[in-house]
Structure 1
């Protein structure tokens, strides 16, 4: 009896994956500009600091205006009663504080994400950076 013939063994030829070949960047990545403390790197960092300061000052203004107007509100005759004052101070102020704080955190995170997107080298694969 003749043995069944097995199909020929297939060989797989592999090479270096196309995504791993790395071309030198056409420009100097901003991360190196920052780590080398060049003028351009200082400008990047100053820009981030300015945008974070602007977000903080806007949050401060959004809190300072209502708090500064509260004493004027309490001078009105309709707010002369004690319980209404305590309701405004004890209950209504905190949601305003929370909303302003939440908005500030979202803006600060967006500023940092924009900065990170600006300074990262998009030719590098994502993942933890090696100290080099």
Structure 2
């Protein structure tokens, strides 16, 4: 078999490739590939993110349910609070009609903020070099 030669008739220099050096530089690429190829590791990572997002959504749903659901209970348990008027408007209307919107806005902002933090943590795990 003929040796490859350059134009000047001199054989090219040999290049030594060490697999360990290549793997260390591309560890985060392996994790990305596992996500893209939907391997068991990739599925576990995605499942962890979905569980974290679901747990967050459920926790905040409970907060909203308790926060808004407690108001009708308050009016049922203490009927005198339903007769209180502020600026000519009864307290139940103010709390349920006006007070609930800022509460829902703050809860929605908290959900978006915490969900983005979950996604940033997931991205940090994916981009973290393995050892």
Equivalent of residue 112 in structure 2, options 96, 105, 123? 105
Aligned counterparts of 1:42 and 1:74: Cα–Cα separation in 2: 48
**Matching of residue 43 in structure 1 with residue 41 in structure 2:** no
The structure showing larger relative contact order (alpha-carbon pairs under 8 Å, at least 6 residues apart) is 1
Query: For 2:128 and 2:81, how far apart are their aligned partners in 1?
Result: 58
**RMSD value, Cα:** 1.8
Give the length in aligned residue pairs. Answer: 100
SS of the residue corresponding to residue 70 of structure 1 reads helix
Which residue pairs with 1:24 in the alignment?
22
The corresponding residue for 1:74 is 75
1:31: Cα distance to partner? Answer: 0.6
Which stretches of structure 1, 4 residues or longer, exceed 4 Å deviation after superposition?
none
Gaps of 5+ in 2: 1-20, 84-88
- Looking at structure 1, the residues matched to 92 and 53 of structure 2 have their Cα atoms a distance apart, in angstroms, of 35
Contact 1:33 1:40 in 2 (8 A): yes
Bigger helix fraction: 2
- For residues 111-122 of structure 1, the aligned pairs below 5 Å read 111-120=118-127
How far did 1:67 drift?
2.0
**How many Å separate the matches in 2 of 1:36 and 1:116?**
17
Show the counterpart of 1:9.
Answer: none
CA distance in 1, matches of 2:71, 2:92: 10
- Show CA shifts across 1:64-91 (max 9, x none): 1122212111121332326111111122
